[in-house]
Structure formats: C-alpha cells, structure tokens
Amino acid sequence: MAGNEALPPVNLFSDIPGHLVEEEVLPLLAAGNLRLERIVSTGHVSPPGLWYDQEEHEWVAVLRGWGVIEYADGSAVELRTGDSLLIPAHTRHRVRATSPAEATVWLALFYR
C-alpha cells in the first residue's frame, strides 16, 4: 500500500555522539502538516539575536538532559528529563541553554 508501509524501528537513544559541533537533527516522520524530529544538543544555544518565529506550532519534550527555552518577552522555561512544552505558532523563542555535560535529547513535533 503506497504511503502506508511500515517503517523500521528507531531507537531514540542510539547513535548519540558525546560532542557535536552543531546540533544534530534527525527527521523521524513527515506526513501532511506534521513533522517529527529527534534533536541532540551538547551545550548548544540559539545564536545571539536569533529568535524562532515559526508558522507551525511546536511541541517539544526532553527525553534526556535539560534545556532552557527563552521567550522574546524575557521569560524562560527550564525543561528537564520528562518535561514537555507547547510553543504556539509565531511565539518568538530561542534556546538559551542546554546541558554541556551530557547530550540533551529532544523530541520535537511541528504541526499546523
């Protein structure tokens, strides 16, 4: 059946490098207006002055490690292992901090 083939299993914790020059983004699923990614950060932050202002809603969960999401109004949310957050479309935000001592593994779902 075209478009309905089973995909091979993916372990979200396999092949996680100890140090990365840039964040690693692994696309897991894309269907219609939905995109799912595994993101691995090792102390990565958004570049100075960069604010994400996306057309899509973004739901993120921290599977391992920790990160801090900062909003343009100056507020921030710290996410630790097991925490999730919904960032509505067009909410200006950035990654202010991620764990430098261990890989932070995010699961990010983007949808319209």
Q: What are the sequence ranges of the domains in the chain? A: 24-111
CA distance 56 to 14: 28
CA-CA-CA-CA torsion sign (107, 110, 111, 112): positive
User: What CATH architecture is 24-111?
Assistant: Sandwich (2.60)
pLDDT per residue over 31-81, tens digit each? Answer: 999 999 999 999 999 999 999 999 999 999 999 999 999 999 999 999 999
H or E element that contains 1: none
Q: State if pTM tops 0.75.
A: yes
98, 67 in Cβ contact below 8 A? yes
Residue type, 62: V
pLDDT per residue over 77-112, tens digit each? Answer: 999 999 999 999 999 999 999 999 999 999 999 999
Structure tokens at 45: 């932050």
